[in-house]
Structure 1
């Protein structure tokens, strides 16, 4: 049985400086993302496109969504497999190429550093990244590669990379 989910989000532009979009430099890129029951996220465009660097931009949010989705899928896979994760930090990076008619992401690389409870869990913890990638709803919805370069170590041990 197939299930369908919907995710309503409201984006409200807050960058009207009094003259609307009367000129490219005459309006702010500030906006808010809201969803029922959640706090607002302050957004803008990338500073390269006249955005406010103190606010989240759509490109960062896309990379963040991919990182979150992978992490949540990964933690689930670990729990089911008996791999006890005690720490998880991802230093994800996305690459976008600009062109005359816009731009597109060329790739996102996830670089999680994971700590597991026991040295005998390290190999399985590394292996589960591929399963987590296949299960990530967001990664399977984009048209560019999402790579993962995990580093895994056991508590009190050095690092191990695949």
Structure 2
């Protein structure tokens, strides 16, 4: 079982809507992260631009899960990964009046040491990682891998 605790305390006038939406996420390992709505949705001072917002966390979880599976798949295939960087991007869209993130683009740069797979073999590793990723298997968002 995985868990996360979301902690918020009213700071302001709740009845008028003039209260802070800043809160914290506490994870089962003990780490606590400042969280708030996207500043594009609730600007400061009622939000907190420095905090992680749910949309960023969603995109980061997709990217992180993909990376972890890619590292496993590459290792099992005999490749040595020296570094991995992904600049993942997604945007809220409206579909039939419902806001959601329909697509996340992973912009991945991998540096290998030793043997380097050609582009087709590299993409095949990412395809295997994508199909193994727990998060990708749990969402309806299209996830697109772009090699940088």
TM-score (norm 1): 0.81
In structure 1, list runs of 5 or more residues that go unmatched.
1-5, 152-162
| Cross-structure match for 2:29 | 37
Aligned match for 1:131, one of 128, 132, 136: 128
Shift of 1:121: 2.8
**Corresponding position of 1:92:** 88
C-alpha distance 13-98 of structure 1, shift in aligned 2 (>3 A): farther
Distance 1:122 1:87 in 2: 17
- 1:17 aligns to 2:11 (yes or no): yes
Partners of 1:40 and 1:67 in 2: how far apart? 20
Residue 7 to residue 74, structure 1, CA distance change in 2 (3 Å): same
The answer for unaligned runs of 5 or more in structure 2 is: none
Per the alignment, residue 146 of structure 2 pairs with 149
Tell me the CA shift for residue 145 of structure 1.
0.4
| Cα separation, 2, equivalents of 1:18 and 1:145 | 39
- The alpha-carbon distance between structure 1 residues 35 and 120, as it changes in their structure 2 partners (threshold 3 A), is closer
**Structure 1 position 101, deviation (Å):** 4.5
List aligned pairs for 1:86-125, cutoff 5 A: 86-98=82-94, 101-123=97-119, 124-125=121-122
Separation (CA, whole Å) in 2 of partners of 1:85 and 1:36: 29
Which one is further off, 61-70 or 87-96? 87-96
Find the residue that maps to 1:76 and give its secondary structure: helix
Q: Which has the higher strand share?
A: 2
Tell me how many residue pairs correspond in the alignment: 143
Alignment-derived partner of residue 60 in structure 1: 56
Alpha-carbon contact 1:116-1:122 (below 8 Å) kept: no
Equivalent position of 1:74 in the other structure: 70
Aligned-residue offset at 1:98: 3.6
State whether residues 69 and 138 of structure 1, in contact with CA within 8 Å, keep that contact through their aligned partners in structure 2: yes
TM-score (norm 2): 0.88
